[in-house]
Structure 1
Amino acid sequence: MSSIETGVRAPSEADAMRRALELGRRGPATGPNPRVGAVLLDPSGDVLGEGWHRGAGTAHAEVAALTDAAERGADVRGATAVVTLEPCNHTGRTGPCSEALIAAGVGRVVVSVPDPNPVAAGGAERLRAAGVDVETGLLADEGRALLGAWLPSVERGRPFVTLKLATSLDGRIAAADGSSRWITSDVSRRHAHDLRSEVDAIVVGTGTALVDDPSLTARNAAGELHGHQPLRVVVGHRDVPDGARLRGPGGELVQARTHDPAEVLALLAEREVRHVLVEGGPTLAAAFLRAGLVDEVHAYVAPVLLGSGPSAMGDLGVATIGGAVRLTTRSVLPLGPDVFVVATVDPHSPTEEH
């Protein structure tokens, strides 16, 4: 049985990969597992089955596509599996996808991105050893984009770190008297809450937790909690008071009793955290930058001048312009009166660790 209507041209493998990428985007953006989509084509190019990974503990995309094909009554022997990520070759919460494809009699596998995870990699080799034709690299840039923070997290062996800043035009996060609500607009704050809902953990220092008393939740425009709430991580040795807003509804509260950013990330990696949002304050932001552990910066900049007050960034140890931490701007988005800038950190910028 085919999902292609009579008279409609069968998709090419590139078309099928675009469809697989579309399917993969239906999966959760958070959690330990990547977004993956898969499409099964018969020898004439018609679609036999489709699937995507719906989250940790559920069927992987390839198995979901095989199940879909079986429910349609389709014969997948000799079929081509078009998959956004190399089929895994290990047993975790589920079995190896490479073995499932071999057992189903699939004759060819087309992959967008090889799996960088040493635990799961090797699926392409296993498939070839079983006589399956394997091609990798189809629409690789699109495949990497689908994987988002998961890919660099696996490649670097630690959570991907986004540093969030919300400042006046002259880099202040509060007025001289300490008042800070609100520098940026409602539009920017709604945008920031949406981004919170797409990360695994939000990290602040104890100073921010005690002075600002944040809730660190992800809420929609109506003020309701998003379905996904990231871990709320407080870095430092001081306790969070029992009556703090961090004790209220939202993600689990985790206290990382250290001042070492590398230890914080190691603790979160043990909890299968892939994407960390560092929100404050200036001392913590500087510590992560000095350690060379910031991958990208999200900056909300309001057209406001304060002239004095606390800066968004603590001491980076920069004595000359040559020691500046350099970033590359990736995108600029107007948000009401504000501007939202996404920039990646130049890995060659001088820091304590580089």
Structure 2
Amino acid sequence: MTASDTGGAADRRYMRLALALGRRNLGRTWPNPSVGAVMVAGPEGSERIVGQGVTAPGGRPHGEPIALDMAGEAARGATLYVTLEPCSHHGATPPCVDAIIAAGIARVVTAIEDPDPRVAGRGHARLTEAGLAVTRNILRDEAARDHRGHITRATKGRPSLHLKLARTQDGFAAGAPDERLRITGPIADGAVHLWRAHADAILVGIGTARADDPSLTVRLPGLSQHSPVRIVLDSTLRLSPASHLVRSARDIPTLVVTTRSAPIHARRMLASFGVETIQVDACSHGRIDLSAALANLAERGFTRLCCEGGPHLADSLAAADLVDVCTLITGPRAISGGGLPAVGEALNDRVHGPGFRVSETRAFGPDLSVTYERSV
């Protein structure tokens, strides 16, 4: 029997736990999604958790076999809650559905079907054919948001992209040329570092890399080892060997996406510091084809990008319809004399257009954060 339901209170409670487990390893399991699994045994009202798991860093093992191993014999007759349809294909590991069936699980509750064409309903079908009760779509919307990167890569051939922009009270991202403008405070900055820790990679343009010389690392207590890959879009390879990104490339993986006409000597120089260059097609104006760049990154396994580039890159990404989540953080300070607007026309039209909605508004101390999300 297969059911598609909003679920009872117990189903929602245990699925929330599975989702919370899955969020622990966001940004660490690519190219696989970070899947949470919870196993519950016993009669309703006196059930107990006998196993739980989350996809391990690097993508293997998956969350389900980890939960099964923890449960042992207690898995027989139990209910398994899992945030994504269990895989049914042979890859680097055997199909999770085989392990679930062999363990004697009685019921499987999932949050969302896996859009990967190798699965796409086959996992649910296999479980049903084996006589297991299957309940689907429990907290589907929450799971879709958590698995946005995996879904976008499977359905659109690119990673999901979370765009972050800071602006002054009067809407500027920068003031006068050569003026360093601090817009947000430490609480908002901490949130940005957490977003970094949950991303597969951080993306910036060469303008930001040259102007700010950022390190793009995670600097939160206990999470410094979770700094993601750094990616710079640089059509003519102007990234300086003296930059923080290049000098630390042997410690934190750093990629530069460039065009096919980029100078070979610059590629060799970057390679000598441990920086990998990726060549993609250019647009008619000589800049990087952003769609081609993200498609290449998806082929390499990236599923979740956090973009911290400037307004020009943000607007170009929006114009190419490559933005899935946009967070605008507005600081309390206004600047006089004008400056560089934080939100361009294409981005403004995109986040206020059909398919996007305001998903969250939060105060980070004196800073106000508004997040717009594309429907999944």
TM surpasses 0.5: yes
Residue 337 of structure 1, aligned match among 351, 358, 366 = 366
Deviation for aligned residue 1:43: 6.2
Q: Which sections of structure 1, spanning at least 5 residues, go unmatched?
A: 1-10, 348-354
Q: Is the 8 A contact 1:51 1:63 kept in 2?
A: no
> Residues 49 and 267 of structure 1: is their aligned pair in 2 closer, same or farther, counting only changes over 3 Å?
same
3-state SS of paired residue (2:341): coil
Equivalence for 1:5 = none
Where does 1:118-267 land on structure 2 (aligned, <5 Å)? Answer: 118-121=117-120, 122-147=122-147, 149-220=149-220, 226-239=224-237, 240-249=239-248, 251-258=252-259, 259-267=288-296
CA distance in 2, matches of 1:317, 1:220: 30
- For 1:270-349, list aligned pairs within 5 A: 270-306=299-335, 307-313=337-343, 316=346, 326=353, 328-344=357-373
Q: Evaluate the alpha carbon distance shift between residue 340 and residue 18 of structure 1 in structure 2; reply closer, same or farther with a 3 A threshold.
A: closer
Structure 2 CA distance, aligned partners of 1:346 and 1:126?
Answer: 29
8 Å Cα contact 2:27-2:228 kept in structure 1? no
1:165: Cα distance to partner? 0.8
Which whole-Å CA distance do the structure 1 matches of 2:49 and 2:203 have between them?
45
Query: What is the match of residue 71 of structure 2?
Result: 69
Structure 2 residue 58 is matched with structure 1 residue 59:
no
TM-score normalised to structure 1 length: 0.82
CA distance in 1, matches of 2:210, 2:329: 23
Q: Give the whole-Å Cα distance in 1 for the aligned partners of 2:350 and 2:144.
A: 31
Distance 1:181 1:172 in 2: 10
Structure 1 residues 310 and 47, CA gap change in structure 2 (3 angstroms):
same
SS at match of 1:90: coil
Q: Sequence identity of aligned pairs in percent?
A: 36
Q: In the TM superposition, what is the alpha-carbon distance from 1:88 to its structure 2 partner?
A: 0.8
Equivalence for 2:99: 100
Partner Cα distance (1:317, 1:211) in 2: 22
User: Secondary structure in 2 aligned to 1:88?
Assistant: coil
The unaligned stretches of length 5 or more in structure 2 are: 1-8, 260-287
Cα shift at 1:85:
1.9
Whether contact under 8 Å (2:314, 2:347) holds in the other structure is no
Aligned residues: 329
Name the SS of the counterpart of 2:173 in structure 1. coil
- CA shift, 1:290, in A, is 0.6
Residue 179 of structure 1 and its aligned partner are, at CA, apart by 0.7
- CA distance in 1 between counterparts of 2:124 and 2:69 reads 21
Tell me the TM-score normalised to structure 2 length.
Answer: 0.77
2:224 counterpart SS class: coil
In the TM superposition, residue 145 of structure 1 has moved relative to its aligned partner by 4.5
- Displacement of 1:141: 3.3
In the other structure, the counterpart of 2:38 is: 39
Asked whether the 8 Å contact 1:215–1:248 carries over to 2, the reply is no
| Equivalent-residue separation in structure 2 for 1:98 and 1:229 (angstroms) | 33
Contact 1:57 1:94 in 2 (8 A): no
Q: Is the 8 A contact 2:241 2:247 kept in 1?
A: no
Distance 1:162 1:131, change over 3 A: same
- Structure number with the higher helix fraction is 2
In structure 1, the residue matched to 2:51 is 50
Aligned counterparts of 1:106 and 1:274: Cα–Cα separation in 2: 31
Report the Cα offset of residue 324 of structure 1.
8.9
Q: Runs of at least 4 residues of structure 1 off by over 6 A?
A: none
Provide the secondary structure at the position in 2 that maps to 1:62.
helix
Distance 1:164 1:285 in 2: 9
Residues 273 and 337 from structure 1, CA distance in 2 versus in 1: closer, same or farther, beyond 3 angstroms?
A: same
